[in-house]
Amino acid sequence: MLSRNQPQVYARRLRAVLLRSIPLLEARGIAVVILAGVVGVMAGILVTAMSQIVQDLHGLLFGVQPGGRLSGMFSLANPMQALIPAVGGALLGLTVIWLRLRKFRTPVDPIEANALYGGRMSLTDTFIIAGQTMISSGFGASVGLEAGYTQVGSGLASRLARIFRLRRNDVRVLVGCGAAGAIAAAFDAPLTGAFYGFELVIGIYSVANVAPVMTAAISASLTAEMFGGVPFPLELSGLPQLTPSQYVPFLLLGLLGGAASIAIMQLVTLIERGFNRLSVDASLRPVIGGVIVGLLGLITPQVLSSGHGALHREFAMNYGLTVVASVFVLKLAASAISLGSGFRGGLFFASLFLGALLGKAFAGVMALISPATGIDPSVAAVVGMTSLAVGVVGGPLTMTFLALESTRDLTLTGVVLAASIMAAILVRETFGYSFSTWRFHLRGETIRSAHDVGWMRSLTVGSMMRKDIKTIDASTTLADFRKQIPLGSAQRVIALGPGDQYVGVLIVAELHSDPAGGEVPVRDLAQYKDAVLVPSMNVQAAAETFQRAGAEELAVVEDFTDHIVLGLLTEGHLMRRYAEELEKARRDLSGEG
């Protein structure tokens, strides 16, 4: 029988054998690139497998023909199929009960893992999210699979990085490679996948990271193609030449896409809070949501699942303004209800579909109020698709490359990028979150991107404070203080009251030069009486406290209620440690040392 430590022993032995047999692996950069290629292959296989499982469920449950798409159907074959999302909700509710009984914590996704935990992800979290996402989308809930794709790619990459005992920054890069490979495989778009990894999961574009991320994206895309992955490219032909006068309307469309993305994120939150107020258990909420989504699916199946078929239908056919607006409202409601009721998935593909509908509606309105502008509906759909998705998902370059790789039309790139930047600026300045980071905010987290701030959180006051401090009774007179603490014997002393409660900081040099009478108690001369630190504060919170107090040194107390003194921290030591850790993080990022 295997002991608990034997898998780690085998992993270390494997790494040692590889290093001896493949000398190139001793070069850290080359080793990361090779591992990135392996991650890309795994991501391509798993993305294709997950997509096929969901397609098979659609065929089994909804009668979708091979090669067809659920959201591309014109109507459900049987009205009873409207109950299928509710059945999926019941299955999802059972997983909620099981997770509650097993006392699982909230799963960590790639962005959170890279921001707070140095890229460390749990395989258990990975398989839970992947399974729940496939149940949700497979039974028709209006969610995409992209969250499950990136979770699987990044989770396996994180485990592989830890097996080979990579450095913190290399683990983060490999997690980004897993997400990049997953998106590249899902959309047959290596550049899109690579910049998804850069912008959203790694948090920064770096020349040192280009090779591994691109290797993962290209290998994943090729692997998915080899195993029969369905390509995403949109077939657009005969598009008119863009004129300079059309850039202003398209920039306006970019702003509309950004505003719509904020409204969508807020709507999902409102519906989620509405479900939370219902006096029903969380395991029953997906059933209620599934019933509503199924009823919307009776009106049009375009609202079901992620929406691949519906998106292609919108580009292939020229619907009127009323139909486009109706589908937009129905899809928005279905996606918000699905996520708000507890179905697992994301808004990545839903935002693309909703953005395309918004673009077509915009073209229809412009044709009515300013026909001379000549806005082409297909071009407007691509611009709207990327603009709205930038607001929800984040990453203007990611969405620009998606438009380029999916349409194969280079002339669209400039206007798509301009509109995407307008959407990104609007969202950043007025809202400040993408959908992923907004959900972190609702949970009480403060992270807004995948930038590595975990080391900053681990650099706490408790780990930096000095414990060898001098204390004195606060009722001691100034004359006695000068006798007990001669000038030069210490720089600062902590004054304590009854029960060793903190009273304030005494600056020795100032008390020896103070003109006050010798009978004055040192309590009256103490400084920073209301400014203290606690051990759990991180470096950022401590620095803010120093700045507010205007102090160079502060006492560290047990908690804000019982001011039992534990130590002392100086602002100089705090900033020196912060600078050291920041330099270490910079060296890790640039590959130095």
Given the candidates 3.30.460.30, 3.20.20.70, 1.10.3080.10, 3.60.21.10, the CATH classification of the domain at 242-447 is: 1.10.3080.10
| pLDDT at res. 413 | 85
Q: What are phi and psi of 521, to 5 degrees?
A: -70, 145
Identify the residue whose tokens are 């990085």: 161
Give the pLDDT confidence score for residue 1 in this predicted structure: 46
Top-ranked range on mean pLDDT: pick from 247-261, 360-374, 487-501: 247-261
Band of the pLDDT at 230, cuts 50, 70, 90? low
Name the pLDDT band for 322 (thresholds 50, 70, 90): very high
User: What pLDDT score does 414 carry?
Assistant: 87
> For residue 442, what pLDDT band results from cuts at 50, 70 and 90?
low
Q: How confident is the model at residue 176 (pLDDT cuts 50, 70, 90)?
A: very high
State the angle between helix axes of 348-369 and 321-341 in degrees (0 to 180), rounded to the nearest 10: 150
Q: How far is CA 158 from CA 47, 163, 176, in A?
A: 17, 9, 9
Please state the rounded mean pLDDT for residues 389-412.
88
Q: Per-residue pLDDT for 344 more than 80? A: yes
**588: pLDDT confidence band, cut at 50, 70 and 90?**
low
pLDDT in tens, 29-50: 788 999 999 999 999 999 999 9
**pTM of the predicted model as reported, rounded to 2 decimal places:** 0.79
pLDDT band for 268, please (50, 70, 90 cuts).
Answer: very high
Comparing 27-41, 211-225, 417-431, the range with the smallest average pLDDT is 27-41
Query: Beta strands of 3-44 (E only): which ranges?
Result: none
Q: What is the mean pLDDT of the chain?
A: 85
Question: Is a pLDDT exceeding 60 seen at residue 589?
Answer: no
Which amino acid, 245?
S
- Does residue 178 surpass a pLDDT of 60? yes
- Secondary structure (3-state) at 460: strand
Give percent of the chain with pLDDT exceeding 90: 45
Q: Are 419 and 440 in contact (CB under 8 A)?
A: no
pLDDT over 90 at 324, yes or no: yes
The pLDDT tens digits of the residues spanning 277-321 come to: 888 888 999 999 999 999 999 999 999 998 988 998 888 888 889
83: left (phi over 0), alpha (psi -120 to 50) or beta: alpha
Q: What is the DSSP letter of 565?
A: E
Compute the average pLDDT of residues 63-90.
Answer: 93
Domains 21-225 and 242-447 share a fold: yes
| Mean of pLDDT values over 205-213 | 86
CATH 1.10.3080.10 describes domain 21-225: yes
pLDDT of 452 reads 52
* Whole-number pLDDT of residue 399: 92
In which band, very low, low, confident or very high, does the pLDDT at 26 lie, cut at 50, 70 and 90? Answer: very low
Q: What per-residue confidence (pLDDT) applies to 592?
A: 46
For 455-582, CATH number out of 3.90.1150.10, 2.40.160.20, 3.40.50.10860, 3.10.580.10 equals 3.10.580.10
* pLDDT for the residue numbered 2: 46
The sign of the torsion formed by the CA atoms of 127, 129, 132, 136 equals negative
Question: The tokens of 440 are what?
Answer: 């972190």
Please tell me the distance from the alpha carbon of residue 80 to that of residue 85, in angstroms, as a whole number: 11
User: Is the pLDDT reported for residue 25 higher than 50?
Assistant: no
Q: Compute how many other C-beta atoms are within 10 angstroms of the C-beta atom of residue 95.
A: 16
Q: Are 568 and 556 in contact (CB under 8 A)?
A: yes
Domain map (residue ranges) of the chain: 21-225, 242-447, 455-582
